[in-house]
Structure 1
Amino acid sequence: MTTDQQLPGTSAAGSLVAPGVEELELRMSSEADVEWIGRLRHEVYARELGQHAPNDAGLLTDDLDGSNVYIVAVHHGRPAGFISVTPPWAGRFSIDRHLRRDEHPALCEDGLFEIRILAVDPGLRGGMIGRLLMYAALRWVAGHGGRGIVALGRVELLPMYLELGLASTGTAVRSGAAGFQLLTGDVAELTDRTLRRHGTLLRELAQTVRWGLEVPFLPGDEMCAHGGASVEALGRGFDTLDASGEVVPADVLDAWFPPAPAAVAALTRGLDWIARTSPPVRADGLVEEIARRRGLPESALAVGAGSSDLIFRAFRGWLDASSRVLLIDPSYGEYAHVVERVIGCRADRFPLHRAEGWRIDPERLARVLRKRYDLVVIVNPNNPTGVHADAARLRRVMEDAPAGTRFWIDETYAGYVGAGQTLEPYAAEAGNAVVCTSLSKMYALSGLRAAYLTAPAPIAAELRRWTPPWAVSLPAQIAAVNALRDPAYYASRWAQTAVLRAELAAALAEVDENLSVSESVANFVLLTLPGGGLTASRLVERCRRRGVFLRDLSPMSPAFEGRTVRIAVRDAAANARVAVTVAEALRAPLGMA
């Protein structure tokens, strides 16, 4: 990489001075940018640095251009510079020409992206353009599930790269007349460092720089990103809830059907009393109902205000910075957030692959477990891939795992699979497993928040000691008890969900033969766009403008390649609207929102 030859200065207050950002635009490259990018590459890397031999055409290209993503800077309407990113789904990096990955552990990490080329017009160096291009690349990588970056940085500019937060591995590379060092960086750490040091400036620049990337200019807060933008669009003050029927909330996996009639009646009938009355402290009635309906001992149960409540309490009690955790990738993002961002411990990934149908290979998982982990997290059925792993095969993997390995099995959507596929009985007796079961999604109680976990009695007792009083609200306890008492109602609704899911998948498949549509076993489908066209982010944006909310899966994992959206099953009318809206969004010209 190369960049500005002179670093921006700092003011007395310590914030960066930002010269040269007036009328600056950062955007993804277009076909019209190809020639000037090639000419600037030739000027910098051939004539200036001597890394390549000059050529008569004055253009520099290579065989990775079809895989690279280019972010360009335009200053006062004229090209000012660019940076390129090679995503992991390209299949290879430029670095592979110089180094063997198996000899450099930093090159073998999952979720790794290469920042390859950074060039700024010689007449515009000394300002913020180079750094903003680096920042833009970091944001793009984060928006596509990247966890690490790797780059070859010019030796002369090594102090600047280190100041930005990149770390040198000490590996030197020579390319033509130019010398480089292998640099690496953790995306989350680089983002945190940038915000700590330059957050004030970035917030100012957010009002000045025209931002054309598919990810926000500024990162979100420290919370895990979830669906639910459809609800947030109704306003924070809850004074526009009547407008909820105007949007299709297919971005979040809430049930499309109402709770059991008895649950609704119990809440409606005593709402004024319920609202002003404190709930039972330990939700004993709910625990008794769960034990009765599931055939489990009460001593093996602990309840919480939704699965996230249980995840936060359990993981913070079990793990510390020295713990080793294995996460399925892709999977529910709350787990990576809690493990890495809240607790700050190491998390390895067990990658799933689209070509293998996103399935967990039990034999491969068993081999990976030999590395010995403190906690292994498996969501089954998995969200967002929608694939279910056979419970008996998972049980054999757990039984054969090294001593000291604890498994957390999330069965939020297990009701859609059918009887005999829960590991709750195993968790109640074995010493190495905990099963977390949400009542929110399957029982149409997402707004009330109720969940429970099944574990050996000592572990369940431990969780109960960590539970504050009145953790589960009175409305949630009343609704959950009544919902559990009506299994026939929910069985019929889950069966109807499967019919609606198949109809939605068929309607989406008819929109365009180039789309890939796959049904989950739960209440959603995945839609994958062909490469080289509209991205998942743009599709979501276009549909949102039409009142239909879908979930872009790009930030969850690079395995989705920025091309896959998750669409929750709604009722028949809403599903039809989703299909029509997707068709309209795909027909619009690429340059339009």
Structure 2
Amino acid sequence: MTAVTDGLVLRLASHADHEWIYRLRHEVYAPELGQHAPNAAGWLTDDLDKDNVYIVAADQDRPVGFISITPAWASRYSIDKYLHRQEHPTLREDESGLFEIRILTVDPSRRGVMTGKLLMYAALRWVMAQGGRTIVALGRVELLPMYLALGLTSTGVPVCSGAVDFELLTGEVADLTDRTLRKYGPLLRDVRPRLRWELEVPFWPEMESCDHGGASIEALGRRFDTLTAHRDIVPADVLDAWFPPAPAVLAALTDDQEWILRTSPPARATGLIEEIAVRRNLPQGAVTVGAGSSDLIYRTFGSWLDTSSRVLLVDPSYGEYAHVVERVIGCRADRFCLRREQGWRVDLDRFADRLRGRYDLVVIVNPNNPTGVHLDAGELREVLTQAPGGTRFWIDEAYVGYSGLGQSLERYAANSGNTVVCTSLSKMYALSGLRAAYLTAPPQIAAGLRRWTAPWVVSLPAQIAAVRALRDPDYYTARWAQTVLLRAELAASLATIDEDLQVHESVANFVLLTLPRGGPSATRLVEQCRRHGVFLRDLSPLSAAFEGRTLRIAVRDASANARTAATVADALRGLQRTP
């Protein structure tokens, strides 16, 4: 079986492939299957081809099969010719992560071997890398066993097209990936060395953790052997502060460095909690701390949710929430979808209507990462107050300092019955390497979460640094204001590269760069820039709303920002010259 895969190439179709694709489509779906009437040109195309993505399997340089994908951003699918999506819950109109797999076609000489299954796997990997969550397909009845073996589920809805009978199939991308790796993992490992995998996505998916930025730190060596090389790269793929911690922070950590490193911290971080309460005018009983936001997310969600829970997430938003809800806990997550053409704005009237669906937990990141849009605290508070009883809200305010600390809902949360605010001290206070964060919640909720907090969860260096940082608001306010100026300069520099680029300036410490349709993908631009030491964040895996062409670029200092803009410009010129 593996011998027939030797030398097989899997890649995105080139312009030169399309003539062969259209001819094979005609050969198979007209004379052979009778789905379409034969035509004199011997070509078969349809009006979705301009939106479709084709993946080709080639034996050396000779194409031997293909599969077509209609992406979510096409906003229309071939299934629309046969059924009404609103009648099928998994295909609802507001589902921004729906991709259609179409016309899997293999040359007669390659049928019965691995070619078709590898094309299906390649399509699944590509969809996952574009933020796809749900797959729909029309499966030929005679091939149903293969589709079902790959994990797709038949809805039992029959579709007839010409002389061919189909059934409507669906599948969740994460579930399909899990099932594929469990069932075919050993076979894929055996086949992988014999393939030329030329897709822009990795052959193996990352299933155990959420996709994050951070390739820039990985570039320094996994065992930290080349840390000094950090001066040679621009880590614009992560939202760590570009500025150093306050001088008092550095002095406190440096003066007694040896003692700090060998000494156990206060088990319950009581002093840090006291400092937070004083600086934020909060009751101490409403505060609990953690080793960064992720620690608090995992701990809280794990105690609040189970597989029967219903959660509402904003999409796009910080990917850790979807990962914890769907992959770790395994419960249902609905999406409130944002649109690029609406400036990624959250329509609070529409959002309030959505809350009538009665969710166990609603997650709002404000300002939102990665869209960079901020909701006014007063308007958001009104939505929270009027929400149906029994709904809990989790408000992530990791970047609220850029909107002004007066926009925080911490005090509201401390006196509410349904709201928790998560505040990171990592990004805003230049303490990402130390990991410190806190929750503000009604005292009874905070007390419950403290019971699930391990002793010594926040290290001694982190506790000392956080206390000193909170005592110097003037230093950080000045740095945040400087960040706004640097952000504007970076956005302006990027905008001058090409008039077809879209630059969206967030309210936080990053900008979004969207590439034109039909040009290089975000993945290719990120890879090209990395070769020159500039690391950017490809947002494609986070959400299909980014259409595979949006990057997030963190604000660094003026020199690094200038290098970023120049590298992006050079990379785009090089990619435009590449066929």
Task: Pick the TM interval, shorter chain.
Answer: over 0.9
Specify the SS of the correspondent of 2:406.
coil
RMSD over equivalenced CA pairs, Å: 1.0
Counterparts of 1:197 and 1:222, CA distance in 2: 17
- 1:140 matched to which residue of 2? 126
Deviation at 1:292, TM superposition (A): 0.4
> Which residue identity does 2:90 align to in structure 1?
A
| Correspondent of 1:73 among 46, 54, 57 | 57
- Kept after mapping to 2: 8 A contact 1:448/1:476: yes
Deviation at 1:540, TM superposition (A): 0.3
User: Any residues of structure 2 matched to 1:120-269 within 5 Å, and which?
Assistant: 120-269=106-255
Counterparts of 1:557 and 1:18, CA distance in 2: 35
Residues 1:554 and 2:544 are matched in the alignment = no
Counterparts of 2:342 and 2:156, CA distance in 1: 37
Residues 1:320 and 2:306 are matched in the alignment = yes
- 2:26 matched to which residue of 1? 42
> Which residue identity does 2:468 align to in structure 1?
N
- 1:588 matched to which residue of 2? 574
Deviations 1:507-549 (A, max 9, x none): 0001111100011000000000000010000000000111100
Specify the SS of the correspondent of 1:437.
strand
- 1:408 matched to which residue of 2? 394
Residues 1:113 and 2:99 are matched in the alignment = yes
Specify the SS of the correspondent of 2:421.
strand
Residues 1:102 and 2:70 are matched in the alignment = no
Deviation at 1:419, TM superposition (A): 3.7
Specify the SS of the correspondent of 1:511.
coil
Deviation at 1:19, TM superposition (A): 4.1
| Correspondent of 1:474 among 453, 460, 465 | 460
Counterparts of 1:521 and 1:98, CA distance in 2: 44
Counterparts of 1:311 and 1:103, CA distance in 2: 35
- Kept after mapping to 1: 8 A contact 2:96/2:544: no
- 1:57 matched to which residue of 2? 41
**Does 195-204 or 461-470 show the bigger shift?**
195-204
Counterparts of 2:31 and 2:370, CA distance in 1: 48
Deviation at 1:197, TM superposition (A): 1.1
Specify the SS of the correspondent of 2:4.
coil
- 2:379 matched to which residue of 1? 393
- 2:328 matched to which residue of 1? 342
- 1:12 matched to which residue of 2? none
**Does 98-107 or 260-269 show the bigger shift?**
98-107
> Which residue identity does 1:47 align to in structure 2?
P
| Correspondent of 1:563 among 549, 556, 572 | 549
Counterparts of 2:182 and 2:98, CA distance in 1: 23
Deviation at 1:91, TM superposition (A): 1.6
| Correspondent of 2:6 among 9, 22, 35 | 22
Deviations 1:339-389 (A, max 9, x none): 000000000000011111101111001100000000000000000000001
- Kept after mapping to 1: 8 A contact 2:398/2:424: yes
- Kept after mapping to 2: 8 A contact 1:19/1:128: no
Counterparts of 1:56 and 1:309, CA distance in 2: 64
- Following superposition, which runs of at least 4 residues in structure 1 exceed 6 angstroms of deviation? none
- 1:453 matched to which residue of 2? 439
Residues 1:308 and 2:294 are matched in the alignment = yes
- Kept after mapping to 2: 8 A contact 1:19/1:127: no
Residues 1:31 and 2:15 are matched in the alignment = yes
User: Any residues of structure 2 matched to 1:507-526 within 5 Å, and which?
Assistant: 507-526=493-512
- Kept after mapping to 2: 8 A contact 1:330/1:351: yes
Counterparts of 1:391 and 1:262, CA distance in 2: 31
- 1:295 matched to which residue of 2? 281
Deviation at 1:76, TM superposition (A): 2.4
> Which residue identity does 2:244 align to in structure 1?
P
Counterparts of 1:590 and 1:208, CA distance in 2: 31
- 1:438 matched to which residue of 2? 424
- Kept after mapping to 1: 8 A contact 2:490/2:565: yes
Counterparts of 1:170 and 1:393, CA distance in 2: 45
Counterparts of 1:101 and 1:419, CA distance in 2: 44
Specify the SS of the correspondent of 2:241.
coil
User: Any residues of structure 2 matched to 1:414-433 within 5 Å, and which?
Assistant: 414-433=400-419
Deviation at 1:28, TM superposition (A): 0.5
Deviations 1:407-460 (A, max 9, x none): 000000000001421100110000000000000000000000000000000100
- 1:492 matched to which residue of 2? 478
- 2:517 matched to which residue of 1? 531
Specify the SS of the correspondent of 1:127.
coil
Counterparts of 2:50 and 2:35, CA distance in 1: 21
Deviation at 1:205, TM superposition (A): 2.7
- Kept after mapping to 1: 8 A contact 2:316/2:545: yes
> Which residue identity does 1:318 align to in structure 2?
W
Counterparts of 2:137 and 2:429, CA distance in 1: 48
> Which residue identity does 2:59 align to in structure 1?
H
- Kept after mapping to 2: 8 A contact 1:22/1:76: no
Specify the SS of the correspondent of 2:516.
coil
User: Any residues of structure 2 matched to 1:567-582 within 5 Å, and which?
Assistant: 567-582=553-568
Deviation at 1:207, TM superposition (A): 2.1
Number of positions where the alignment pairs a residue of Structure 1 with one of Structure 2: 577
> Which residue identity does 2:61 align to in structure 1?
G
Is there any run of 5+ residues in structure 2 with no aligned partner, and where?
none
Counterparts of 1:526 and 1:491, CA distance in 2: 23
- 1:10 matched to which residue of 2? none
Deviation at 1:200, TM superposition (A): 1.9
Assess, with a 3 A threshold, how the Cα gap between structure 1 residues 100 and 221 changes in structure 2: closer, same or farther. Answer: closer
Residues 1:331 and 2:317 are matched in the alignment = yes
- 1:93 matched to which residue of 2? 77
Deviations 1:233-281 (A, max 9, x none): 1101111001001110000000000001000111011110011000000
- 1:8 matched to which residue of 2? none
Specify the SS of the correspondent of 2:439.
strand
Counterparts of 1:329 and 1:155, CA distance in 2: 35
Counterparts of 1:35 and 1:419, CA distance in 2: 59
> Which residue identity does 1:507 align to in structure 2?
S
Counterparts of 2:286 and 2:494, CA distance in 1: 43
Counterparts of 2:277 and 2:232, CA distance in 1: 40
**Does 100-109 or 179-188 show the bigger shift?**
100-109
Counterparts of 1:500 and 1:327, CA distance in 2: 31
Counterparts of 1:212 and 1:163, CA distance in 2: 26
Deviation at 1:72, TM superposition (A): 0.4
- Kept after mapping to 2: 8 A contact 1:86/1:93: yes
> Which residue identity does 1:522 align to in structure 2?
A
- Kept after mapping to 2: 8 A contact 1:398/1:407: yes
Is there any run of 5+ residues in structure 1 with no aligned partner, and where?
1-16
Counterparts of 2:546 and 2:60, CA distance in 1: 35
- Kept after mapping to 2: 8 A contact 1:553/1:566: yes
> Which residue identity does 1:565 align to in structure 2?
L
Counterparts of 1:110 and 1:592, CA distance in 2: 31
Counterparts of 1:222 and 1:134, CA distance in 2: 22
Deviation at 1:592, TM superposition (A): 4.8
Counterparts of 2:193 and 2:438, CA distance in 1: 45
- Kept after mapping to 2: 8 A contact 1:20/1:127: yes
Counterparts of 1:589 and 1:164, CA distance in 2: 36
Residues 1:279 and 2:244 are matched in the alignment = no
Percent identity over the alignment? 72
- Kept after mapping to 1: 8 A contact 2:96/2:545: no
Assess, with a 3 A threshold, how the Cα gap between structure 1 residues 354 and 94 changes in structure 2: closer, same or farther. Answer: same
Deviations 1:94-144 (A, max 9, x none): 000111112222221441100011100011111111000000000000000
Counterparts of 2:114 and 2:443, CA distance in 1: 59
> Which residue identity does 1:142 align to in structure 2?
M
